[in-house]
Amino acid sequence: MNITIVTGPFLPCGGGPAGAVEKLWLGLAQQFVTLGHQVTIVARVWPGQAPDEVIDGVRIVRRGGHSRSASVRWDLLKDFVYSVRLIAVLPKAEVTVVNAFWLPVLASGLRRRLGKVVVNVARFPKHQMWLYRGVDRLSAVSQAVADEIVRQTPSVRRLVRVVPNPVDVERFQPADPLPPRKGGCRILYTGRVHPAKGLHLLIPAIRHLLADYPDLELAIVGPTRTEHGGGGDAYMAELAGLGQGLPVKFESSIADPALLARRMAQADYYCYPSLADQGESFGVAPLEAMALGYAPVLSSLPCFREFAMDGINCFVFDHHHADPFGQLADALRRAMQGPGRTQTLGDEAVKTAQRFSYATVADAYLADWTRLVERGSC
């Protein structure tokens, strides 16, 4: 099969500060190539990256691109400019997967060249799905996202299928055998440093726990700048104020998956307290932690139900509770009170993560696209 994958206008693909979407589609593209398919990724340009190159058999074409701003309207305009520019360079394909806002609208009339147009719905919809009535597939990354698409736009129900995001279980894997937890108190968060991620709850929760766990430490690893998806200087100032006098440190984001896995493996516990009920669509970072053998502490977002089972492979807190700080602190305390039980949950977490391997998810996409190409419809 000849496949084109288009990533968005703001973050690079194949190195640099790539986002989760860019990383996972490069990984899936490489998996498709190993199965004998031809794959081209069309992405934004980035300093130090060639306009045309081949990485592990995947051709990457880079054109256009913009810096993310704090204005959604301005970013939508940038996306439109980027999408228009890409139309001329999109190669002939049997399937074209799109991760940009406006490009599906422009591409739906070019099927003779682009083949089946598939929109990767990696975020919760905001009443824009009616724009995509002319595409061939809306691939939602979780059942929560799929349900919201149908709730907002019932007319596109027949286009919706759920294919989850993958996790790199080759790089993110526990030591063999998995070493026993020794009761350390190093807590880790990885991801965007943004208000939607709930870090302004996590830091006060650390203060709650210090009396019982005086050697507790919190490390927050991820991008902070607005153009990289972070919350910017204002949010960093807020977090710095909350963390004053606490054992909290901020570390730069780690683009290389192998280095990220190595950094994550240095922690004793993992926490991902996202508050984005209508923003968080799946949760690759918690699954990476689970693949490493952690039973993560998670908020009760609907999308986490795809893989999170409280008391079985993770610890869940109610982020809508009147006292979310206390709820989060209690969940962390549950995780830290019994290393033996946490070890058992970590073993289950590894088994859960294996269900979302790149090989499994790639097969799911290819099966769906093969049906589309052969049958000509949903």
111 and 207 co-located in one domain: no
Residue 32 makes CB contacts below 8 A (sequence gap 6+) with: 1, 3, 39, 362, 366
The domain of 264 spans 186-354
Q: Does residue 174 fall inside a structural domain? A: no
> What would the pLDDT profile of 321-375 be if each residue is shown by its tens digit?
999 999 999 999 999 987 666 789 999 999 999 999 999 999 999 999 999 999 8
**3-class DSSP assignment, residue 234:** helix
- Decide: 333 and 209 in contact? Cβ < 8 Å: yes
Beta bridge partners of 160: 138
Using the predicted structure, report yes or no on whether residue 12 has a pLDDT greater than 90: yes
Q: Are 218 and 345 found together in one domain?
A: yes
Query: What CATH number does residue 253 fall under?
Result: 3.40.50.2000
* Residue 177 in domain: no
Mean per-residue pLDDT for 44-61?
Answer: 96
User: Distance (Å, rounded) from C-alpha 225 to C-alpha 256?
Assistant: 18
Q: Are residues 152 and 19 in the same domain?
A: yes
Per-residue pLDDT of 263-282, as tens digits, reads 999 999 999 999 988 777 88
333 vs 210, 245, 267, 271, 321, CA distance in Å?
A: 11, 21, 16, 12, 17
pLDDT at 180: 52
Please give the average per-residue pLDDT across 284-305, as a whole number: 95
Judgement on whether residues 162 and 60 belong to the same structural domain of the protein: yes
What per-residue confidence (pLDDT) applies to 254? 92
Residue with tokens 């998670």: 298
b/e map of 305-343 (b: 16 or more CB within 10 Å)? ebbbebeebbbbbebeeeebbebbbbbbbbbbeebeebe
Asked, for residue 272, whether it belongs to a domain, the answer is yes
What sign results for the dihedral spanned by CA atoms 72, 77, 78, 82? positive
d(CA 43, CA 236): 29
Q: What is the pLDDT of residues 14-36, one digit of tens each?
A: 887 878 899 999 999 999 999 99
pLDDT in tens, 192-231: 999 999 999 999 999 999 999 999 999 999 999 988 889 9
Q: CA 297, CA 267: separation in Å to the nearest integer? A: 13
Q: If you average pLDDT over residues 112-123, what whole number do you get?
A: 96
* Residue 183 neighbours by CB under 8 Å, 6+ apart: 268, 336, 339
